[in-house]
Amino acid sequence: MKKTYAATFFSVLWLAGCGEAPPNGSLAPPSPAVRVRVEPAAAQSSPELYEATGTVRARVSAVISSRLMAYVRGVKVQVGDRVREGQTLVSLDNRDLEASMRRALAAREEIRNAIPEAESAVAAAKANLDLAQSTFQRYNELYQKQSISDQEFDEVSGKRKAAQANYDMMQARRAQLDAKAAQIEEEIRSAQVSLGFAEITAPFAGLVTAKSVEPGVLAAPGVPLLTIERDGAYRLEAAVEESKLLSIRNGQAVRVKLDGIDRALDGRVTEIVPAVDPASRANTVKIDLPAVAGIRSGLFGRARFAVGSRPILTVPAAAVVERGQLRSVTIAENGIARTRLITLGQRVGDRFEVLSGLQPGEAVVLSPATVADGTRIEVQP
């Protein structure tokens, strides 16, 4: 058995001696160092953001109702229609109003026909009064001379008084006609206004968002018929926690993201409702939105408020390598490239926030795809 082990041992030595040795007995030369540019991971201040959710509402909306009690004759619009200012929306039955207008016009014509007759009566009464005045003056002179009797003087005096009373009465009747004419003119203007109410028009250009009227329905004052929202005037009404309210002010710029809109919008706080909702313990903050196509009432939105600042660690976006769900950077460590897995936060311009895996000041390679882990590197100045 010992002879067998010895033979095997010497056979292995002989086979090993048959291998080729490297020329001149030296090892392979090391690969040259890769030249790279680096940048240290930097600590900086970043705005602390608070996100609040809300719903888009129209800044200006109008609930259209009738000012008359009348049956609806026609509805000119449907939900979703865009209307222009002054466009007819609903027509009411105006036959009673037209009859009132005709009566008022007929009364005005009657007054106009009666005015010349009244003016003639006033003129005749004035002529009769002037005659009675002249006669009274002559008889008065004769009476002073005792040329006529008391009976004759009393008769002339009575005629003068009767003529004066008749003249005053004719003038009063003429004044009554003027007052009646003014009253009828007011009735005509009122009838014209009422006729105008029979055509319900749009108070501004906008979008019809609700309709609760059909032809034949009895419209009454105060009962909603249509709802219109002004074009291009929307705002996000966000619920903000009362603890964050002190950091929000009127005029503050806000970044808004709406469902259905593929880009962020720049809004501005225009109103902070002081009352707190007792159920949610939140205040309503109203944020005016720019005029952008696609915005409509009811959209869900998120508003990001800057409520302070916080220190963060950032690296250039060009230094980050993404493989699936893994993010990594390459750092320069004693002339050797080392891959480091990191956790990213938000993006800040052309840099990423690093939540973990890196320390401030560590040199990050700006072109990590050109070097592998363990590669010798030379940092370019």
Half-sphere exposure of 373 (CA within 13 A, CB side): 7
Are 117 and 250 members of one domain? no
- In single-letter form, the type of residue at position 368 comes to P
Report pLDDT digits (tens) over 192-213: 988 889 999 999 998 898 999 9
Are 289 and 363 members of one domain? no
Are 101 and 193 members of one domain? yes
Lowest mean pLDDT among 5-9, 17-21, 300-304, 340-344: 5-9
Residue 169 has pLDDT above 90, yes or no: yes
Using the structure block, give the residue that is written with the tokens 């005659």.
131
**Ramachandran region of residue 141, left (φ > 0), alpha (ψ -120 to 50) or beta?**
alpha
SS3 assignment, position 167: helix
Rounded to whole angstroms, how far apart are CA atoms 270 and 253? Answer: 10
If we measure between CA atoms, which residue out of 122, 56, 98, 116 comes closest to residue 267? 56
Residue 257 near residue 265 (C-beta atoms within 8 A): yes
CATH number, domain with residue 287: 2.40.30.170
Are 54 and 109 members of one domain? no
- In single-letter form, the type of residue at position 132 comes to A
Question: Please, which pLDDT band fits residue 29 given cuts at 50, 70 and 90?
Answer: low
Residue 286 has pLDDT above 90, yes or no: yes
| pTM value > 0.85 | no
Whether 9 maps to a domain, the answer reads no
When computed from its CA atoms, the radius of gyration of the chain, rounded to whole angstroms, is: 50
Report pLDDT digits (tens) over 115-134: 999 999 999 999 999 999 99
The residue segments making up the domain with residue 281 are 50-59+230-308
